[in-house]
Chain A
Amino acid sequence: MKKRFKYLLLEIASPFIAILFAVLIGALVMLVIDKNPVEVYRTMFLFSFKRLDSVAIILFGMTPLIFSGLAVAIGFKAGLFNIGIEGQYLIGTFLAALAGFALKGLPTFIHLPLVILMGMLGGMLWAWLPIYLKVKRGVHEVISTIMLNYVSFSLIHYLIADVFMDKQQGLAPGVGNPIIRLPKIAATAVMPKMHSFLSNFGINLPQHVYLNWFLVLALLMAVGYYFLVWRTPFGYELRAVGHNPAGAETAGIKPGAVFFKAFLLSGAIAGLTGLSDLLSYFGYMDLDFPRGYGFTGIAVALIGKNGPLGIVLAAFLFAFLNRGAEGVQAFVGVPMETIVILQGVMILSIVVFSSVMGRYIRQQEKKEAALGSAAGKPGVTVGAQGGVK
């Protein structure tokens, strides 16, 4: 059992060793551009954790990443790679924004849930075609989702700039440029911020942060994801299909049906990604609506190893790096690119380290098992690795 603990420790330590490694590489980059890395990292930490608004901004920033990370992870669990989160959340955000400004006079307790459901519906809609093509026609989902991302970018541009654009922005004729955006959503569709709730606990967030209840929804979603995948029959089927579709089929599970459900679920969660920004921060969708959450979500799921806790922590890491980047840019003068490099190295090293470490542990376990059976002991550790994970 002691051995087992050692491996566990190694497995947990590996992302941290990787982060440390990335931090060192980042330090080298900073030395090259003539910045003191110690000061940079120190500013990054102090700026991010000493200021209440920074903490709230990090929590706000991790919200969409939890959604997109979970969306990617649920696909991975079923053996599907959904690169289409990007397109799915844009379509979801658009439908939500549409329901947000077009419907008027509804009470909040109907309007807000409706808008959120529209977001999920949009994501599902955009996930439906690729999975339909995969299950019925054998089109690989990586290709179709990537392509549909491009379709969604152009479609969104068309819908925002040419069909639904808000022309009532009060511009002087001939000068100035309107923001290319949809009309603002109705007040009844706005997600309330957490300010008044937190003030009950003596935490008074400044007004300029937009921390809202989507964070709680995201965390609940992570818990729900855990129960769904590890504690329900459907979750078992999902993992079985993800592990070995052919094997699952012989066991009486229909991979096609599982793929379908898993992918639509992934799309629905993806549809929530943009809503925290839409419904509490911007209040409208414009052409410049934050992009890239979908792709970052892939990194989040990879780093988090598709586990709910891992995803939440990875989302936190990314949000921290983003906020920290603002701090070091503003106070130490480190250019944005340095932080982008740091993020890139971090993702790469975490993925590499965890795979190297995983292989090492498996090898050791195999050796032990061999030794164990040679000595007549039962191979205790094999079971843990052999089963459906």
Chain B
Amino acid sequence: MKKGKKALILGLVLLMVLSLVVVGCGKKEEPQSGQTPAPAPEKPAPFKVGLVFDVGGRGDLSFNDAAYAGLERAQQEFGDRIQVKYLEPSGGGENREQLLRLLAEDKYDLIFGVGFMFTDHIAKVSKEFPNTKFGLIDGFIDGLTEASNVSALLFKEHEGSFLVGAAAGLKTASDTVGFVGGMKIPLIEKFEAGYIAGAKYVNPKVKVVSDYIGTTGEAFKDPVKGKELTLKQIKSGADIIYHASGASGIGVIEAVTAQKKLAIGVDSDQSLTAKEEQRPYILTSMLKRVDEAVYETIRVAINNEFKGGYTVFGVAENGVGYATNQYNEAMLKDISDKLEELKAKIISGEIQVPADKQELAEFEKSLPKN
């Protein structure tokens, strides 16, 4: 016991010395660090925008990066008028709420939570900070009104997926297309349902093979597994593969490039972020304009027009769609008229895109059989 006690005392002494050293060093530096934040007094206080990414953070070339693109655009546009900061939760994601709160405490005017995992945390923190505004991407909080300080930004991913599904259905040579999802959750099944519906709508013969990468959040950052599943699908005949798997999709694109098949990207226009040699193998991307939602929310908030409640981004609102760029122009040329026609039909309500398995089954029944 004596040993343990001594160890404790010595440990504490050492800890104290260590902390003194660190704090001491810090003190010496103080005048220097004090200079940096010196604000120019004549400028009005900038509008402070904070953003907390979901696990995975920047660099997933997909969902989180799309949110970042919106932030970046606002930064370019408003320059000095806004000040931005973005944070990323720890691996297990258990500190989302603390990060939101830190930003709120730091007097950020508008704070985004990127992903539906933030739903409960934003619900909690927004009550503690009634004067701070929050943007919740993909999440739904019950009972929001225009006067609320939370704006839920929701997307009809199934509509965009329908369009890229149609593109796949039209372009496939083997009448087999693939879908690689990240984590098996209703959100991703929505992508899948829309995609299958789109493919079958334009091509009744088409077969869709679906796989999910995993059962944890890790599924959105596992390119190796994404690649494996894609190769497996290609072996079973698929020649166009759509992924909704965040950073795991990097593996999907690698696999189609190696096998000279086609991939469909998700969330951002992945033709633009892919490597040069991969671009010819990206047919298009399902755009989920998280960037647009983020930018728009910042823009109205700066102009003091922030409204709480729900904003839904569908095909009609240009919130989802398919990507065209200089790399895939030629590939899409022969089908772009058809896609535009389908788009118009979705906007007019002639096509009701299914959002889950049940609706998909009904949708398939309603399709003419031939």
Chain A residues with CB under 8 Å of chain B are 8-9, 12-13, 16, 19-20, 36, 38-39, 41-42, 45-46, 49, 57, 153-154, 156-158, 161, 169-172, 174-180, 207-208, 277, 282, 287-288, 290-293, 307, 309, 313, 322, 325-327, 329-331, 333, 335-336, 340
Check: B200 CB closer than 8 A to any chain A CB: no
Contacts A292-B91, A330-B85, A330-B106 given; indicate if A42 touches B23 (C-beta within 8 A).
yes
Q: Chain A residues near B98 (CB, 8 Å)?
A: 57, 326
* Separation of A161 and B102 alpha carbons in the complex (Å): 31
Asked if A12 meets B91 with Cβ closer than 8 Å, knowing A41-B22, A174-B156, A288-B117, the reply is: no
Q: How far apart are A332's CB and chain B's nearest CB, in angstroms? A: 10
With contacts A16-B14, A175-B310 taken as known, whether A326 is within 8 angstroms of B92 at the C-beta atoms is no
User: Quick check: B184 and A157 within 8 Å, CB to CB?
Assistant: yes
User: Looking at the complex, which of B134-142, B245-253, B276-284, B342-350 is the stretch in contact with chain A?
Assistant: B134-142
Encoded as 1 (CB less than 8 Å from any A CB) or 0, chain B from 58 to 91 comes to: 0000000000000000000000000001011111
Q: B29 near A36 (CB under 8 angstroms)?
A: yes
Chain B: CB-nearest residue to A226: B4
Contact: B90 with A161, CB < 8 Å?
no
| Measured CA separation A328–B154 after assembly (Å) | 31
Could you tell me if B3 and A8 are in contact, using CB atoms closer than 8 angstroms?
yes
List 8 additional contacts besides A161-B185, A175-B140, A180-B186; criterion CB under 8 Å.
A12-B10, A16-B15, A38-B26, A41-B26, A42-B25, A175-B310, A179-B120, A333-B85
Residues of A within 8 A of B19 (CB): 45, 49
- Judged by DSSP, the binding face of A is helix
* A288 close to B93 (CB less than 8 A): yes
Expressed in whole angstroms, the Cα–Cα distance for A15 and B146 within the complex equals 55
Chain A: minimal CB distance from B7 (Å) = 5
Give the residues in chain A near B33, CB-CB below 8 Å: 36, 39
CA of A154 to CA of B90, assembled, Å: 22
Judging by beta carbons under 8 Å apart, are A287 and B156 in contact?
A: no
B318, CB-defined interface residue at 8 Å = no
Q: Tell me which residues across on chain B come within 8 A of A45, comparing CB atoms.
A: 19, 22-23, 26
Q: CA A172 – CA B85 in complex, angstroms?
A: 31
- Is A291 touching B216 in the complex (CB atoms < 8 A)? yes
B residues 1-58 with Cβ under 8 Å of A?
3-4, 6-8, 10-11, 14-15, 18-19, 22-23, 25-26, 29, 33, 57
> Which chain A residues lie closer than 8 Å to B256 at the CB level?
none
4 A-B pairs with least C-beta separation:
A176-B140, A42-B26, A157-B215, A290-B94
**Beta-carbon nearest neighbor of B185 in chain A:** A180
Docked CA distance A172–B215 (Å): 25
> Which residue of B25, B102, B214, B355 is within 8 Å of A330 (Cβ)?
B102
Contacts of B18 in A (CB 8 A): 16, 19-20
Residues of B within 8 A of A177 (CB): 116, 138-140, 185-187, 190
Among A170, A282, A330, the residue within 8 A (CB) of B87 is A330
Q: Does B166 contact A (CB under 8 A)?
A: no
**Shortest Cβ distance from residue A278 to the other chain B in the assembled complex, whole angstroms:** 12
CB neighbours of A313 from chain B (8 A): 11
29 pairs, CB–CB < 8 Å, chain A vs chain B: A8-B7, A9-B10, A12-B10, A12-B14, A16-B15, A36-B33, A38-B25, A38-B29, A42-B25, A45-B22, A45-B23, A57-B98, A153-B214, A153-B216, A157-B216, A161-B185, A172-B140, A178-B140, A178-B186, A179-B116, A208-B101, A208-B124, A208-B128, A290-B94, A307-B4, A326-B87, A333-B85, A336-B88, A340-B91
| Residues of B contacting A333 in the complex (Cβ-Cβ under 8 angstroms) | 85
A166–B355 alpha-carbon span in the complex (Å): 19
Task: Report the separation of the CA atoms of residues A292 and B94 in the bound assembly, to the nearest whole angstrom.
Answer: 10
CB distance from A145 to the nearest CB of B (A): 17
How many angstroms from the CA of A159 to the CA of B197 in the assembled complex?
28
Q: B93, A161: Cβ atoms under 8 Å?
A: no
Q: A49, A170, A180, A322: which contacts B95 (Cβ < 8 A)?
A: A322
Tell me, in angstroms, the Cα distance from A326 to B95 when the chains sit together: 8
A309: chain B residues within 8 A (beta carbon): 4, 7-8
- Residues 213-231 of B, flagged 1 when their CB comes within 8 A of A and 0 if not, give 0111100000000000000
Please tell me if the beta carbons of B3 and A172 are within 8 angstroms of each other in the complex. no
Residues of A within 8 A of B355 (CB): 174
Partner of A325, one of B90, B116, B183, B216: B90
Chain B hits for A39, CB < 8 A = 26, 29, 33
Docked complex Cα distance between A8 and B187 (Å): 57
- Whether A288 and B217, one on each chain, are in contact in the complex, defined by CB atoms closer than 8 angstroms, is yes
For residue A64, which residue of chain B has the nearest CB? B94
Name the interface residues of B141-192: CB closer than 8 Å to any CB of A: 142, 152, 154, 156, 183-187, 190
Q: Which A residues touch B88, using CB under 8 A?
A: 329, 335-336
Chain B nearest Cβ from A129, distance in angstroms:
20
In the assembled complex, B119 has its CB within 8 A of some CB on chain A: yes
Return chain A residues, CB-CB under 8 Å to B119: 179
User: Which of B25, B103, B142, B156 is A175 in contact with, Cβ under 8 Å?
Assistant: B156
Chain A residues, Cβ within 8 Å of B263: none
**Chain B positions within 8 Å of A9 at CB level:** 10
Q: Is B99 an interface residue (CB 8 A)?
A: yes
Is B156 in contact with A8, judged by CB distance below 8 angstroms?
no
Cβ of B312 under 8 Å from chain A: yes
Provide the B103-147 mask, 1 if CB < 8 A to any CB of A, else 0: 100100000000011011000100010000000001110100000
Smallest CB separation, A350 vs chain B (Å): 13
Q: Determine the distance from Cα of A309 to Cα of B7 in the docked complex, in whole angstroms.
A: 9
- Contact between B215 and A154, CB atoms less than 8 A apart: yes
> Min CB distance, A205 to chain B, in Å?
14
Near A by CB (< 8 A), chain B positions 200-214 give 214
Give every chain B residue within 8 A of A20 (Cβ-Cβ): 18
The minimal Cβ–Cβ distance linking A9 to chain B, given in whole angstroms, is 7
Residues of B within 8 A of A179 (CB): 116-117, 119-120
CB distance from A254 to the nearest CB of B (A): 30
Q: How many angstroms between the C-alpha atoms of A41 and B26 in the bound complex?
A: 8
Residues of B near A156 (CB, < 8 A) are 215
